[in-house]
Amino acid sequence: MDLFNKCQTFTTAKDVQALGLYPYFIPLTNSEGTVAWVGDHKLIMIGSNNYLGLTTHPKVRQAALDAIRHYGTSCTGSRFLNGTLELHLELERRLADFIGKEAALVFSTGYQTNVGTISALVGRNDFVITDKEDHASILDGCRLSYGEMRRFPHNDMAGLERVLSRLPDDAGRLVVVDGVFSMGGDIALLPELIGVCRKYGARLMVDDAHSVGVLGDGRGTAAHLGVTAQVDLIMGTFSKSFASLGGFIAGDAEVIHYIQHHARSLIFSASIPAGNAAAALAALEVMIEEPERSRRVMEIGERMRQGFRSLGFDVGSSQTPIVPVIFGEDMTTFKAWKMLFDAGVYTNPVISPAVPEGQALLRTSYIATHTDEQLEFVLEAFAQVGRRLGVI
């Protein structure tokens, strides 16, 4: 059998393209945070993870430009060898202090942070336990480890306890959950998770990619819930609130030191360029100086949940600026996406396997710099589309 046969028979995307409903890999010609352009078509952007609106912040832009002028455009090496700059170390020190942990380690992407951390820590005869709605990078980290993966139903503490209770007493255990779940916008039950983990001697890692900058005055889910000291590892990414590219893991110094010397995705990848590190540092400073941004984006999330619900839409269990609008059937979701796109609203359609079968949705996410007029425009566009499709 020819290895490429699967490529020739893969027609799903082409079928949707033929219907004029293909919503992926659309090239933007310009973007100004809350507004984007596809060619000459202007759209209100509610499909971005730029939660604090810092990609266009003058301080962040200037920091990146200054770093490029000083260091150039690339480190041309891994952190392990010639790719560590003093800028990286300063960023790690500042992040650890901000998050409330002894140490932090910067990776080239958030994806590599999860893959590297989990695969470094979870060895043979160890177990890694994940929530069924965890991000794909967590699952890939589990698969690349030498340990065994177990899963429990979403935010189900009884389910987690059942899994942990069946593991060998002498096995290492790492529980990994999203702080804010990227599709549903709901928050992990960290106090309850901590209780179960302690009962069974499991360590707890929280992926705060969608929480840092948003919850707990920017410090993430554990800070929001007052349990930072009880969470063993906190992960974050720079590609969302930090308006850059990269990721980090924060925890006890000896654990971070171990990860630093065992995470293959760190050792065998080029480090983030100086411009990205400087942008993340500047974004961190803005988070500290302007905490009103995180409060504003949370207020917008609540406003949009109320608005969608009043129109008759299902927004699930969202508690954050991630607000899913659930349509259910895939083709209805694609049609809604196209109608909104034509009306000037940019959203992200999500179907199985990213969400359960029959739970297709438009993932909307908000930015602290969205204006009230833009938000009203979005709600009115959704109202018109919902009525035309007969879903409200």
Q: What percent of the chain has pLDDT over 90?
A: 98
Residue 392's Cβ-count burial label (10 Å; 0-12, 13-18, 19+) is middle
Q: Write out the residue range of the structural domain in which residue 202 sits.
A: 56-289
- Residue 135 in any domain: the answer is yes
In degrees to the nearest 10, what's the CA dihedral of 105, 110, 113, 119? 170
Same domain for 60 and 37, yes or no, is no
- Helix (H) or strand (E) run with residue 35 in it: strand 35-38
Q: Catalytic residues, which ones?
A: 182, 210, 240
Q: How many CB atoms lie within 10 A of CB 16?
A: 16
What is the total count of domains within the chain? 2
d(CA 3, CA 329): 32
β-bridge mates for residue 347, sequence order = none
What pLDDT is recorded for position 348?
Answer: 97
Q: Is residue 172 part of a domain?
A: yes
Give tens-digit pLDDT for 280-311: 999 999 999 999 999 999 999 999 999 999 99
Among residues 289, 324, 346, the one where a domain terminates is 289
Q: Who contacts 329 (Cβ-Cβ below 8 Å, separation ≥6)? A: 358, 360
> Average pLDDT in the 255-272 region?
98
Q: Distance (Å, rounded) from C-alpha 285 to C-alpha 62?
A: 13
- In this prediction, residue 56 has a pLDDT band, given cuts at 50, 70 and 90, of very high
H/E run at residue 161:
helix 157-165
| Contacts for 14-23: CB closer than 8 Å, 24+ residues apart | 16/334, 19/334, 20/338, 21/331, 21/334, 21/335, 21/337, 21/338, 23/334, 23/337, 23/338, 23/341, 23/348, 23/349
Same domain (yes/no): 300, 373: yes
Both 278 and 217 in one domain: the answer is yes
Residue 127 and residue 274 in one domain: yes
Query: Does position 250 have pLDDT exceeding 90, yes or no?
Result: yes
Q: Are residues 245 and 344 in the same domain?
A: no
The whole-number pLDDT of residue 119 equals: 98
Q: Looking at 261, 289, 317, which one is the last position of a domain?
A: 289
Per-residue pLDDT at 382: 98
The per-residue pLDDT for range 163-189, each reduced to its tens digit, is: 999 999 999 999 999 999 999 999 999
Strand partners, 174: 128, 203
In a domain, 4, yes or no: no
Single residue among 274, 289, 304 that ends a domain in this structure? 289
Q: In this structure, are 246 and 107 located in the same domain?
A: yes
- Among 163, 159, 117, 156, residue whose Cα is nearest residue 140: 117
Instruction: Please give the average per-residue pLDDT across 80-94, as a whole number.
Output: 97
| Composition of the chain by helix, strand, coil, percent to 5 | 45, 20, 35
